[in-house]
Amino acid sequence: MSLNDDILWYRQIEQNDDYWIESAKIDFALALDRLLHQQNLTKRALAERMHTSPAYITKALRGDANLTIDSMVRLARAAGGELHLHIAQRSTR
């Protein structure tokens, strides 16, 4: 595969909603993980605060959980943070 083919493939992937959904889940998981480290909070402690299992927290941090806005708010607040969503205009390339 040539570099041009790689670029074309990547641009086609970016047109797929699933790409953006997974990207948002990963961004959330990374931000939650950073917050846990900043707060010196373990997955077990976060699970206790939320009255859930450490396995659920692990799934959320891997991006495997079916995250809703409700669950994202609850996770963020239990970790000592807040969820902020924004919509940005698509960039043109």
Each residue's pLDDT, cut to its tens digit, for the chain (93 residues) gives 576 766 676 677 777 888 889 889 999 999 999 999 999 999 999 999 999 999 999 999 998 888 999 999 999 999 999 999 999 888 765
The answer to whether residue 11 sits within a structural domain is no
Into how many domains does the chain fold? 1
pTM of the model: 0.81
Q: How many CA atoms lie within 13 A of 53 on its CB side?
A: 5
Does some domain include residue 73? yes
Domain that holds residue 33: 17-93
Tell me if 29 is assigned to some domain: yes
Please check whether residue 6 lies inside any domain of the structure.
no
CATH number where 49 lies: 1.10.260.40
Tokens found for residue 62: 């891997």
Asked if the structure places residue 64 within a domain, the reply is: yes
C-alpha 1: how far from chain center: 31
d(CA 75, CA 6): 37
Residue 65 in any domain: the answer is yes
Residues 6+ apart with CB under 8 A from 45: none
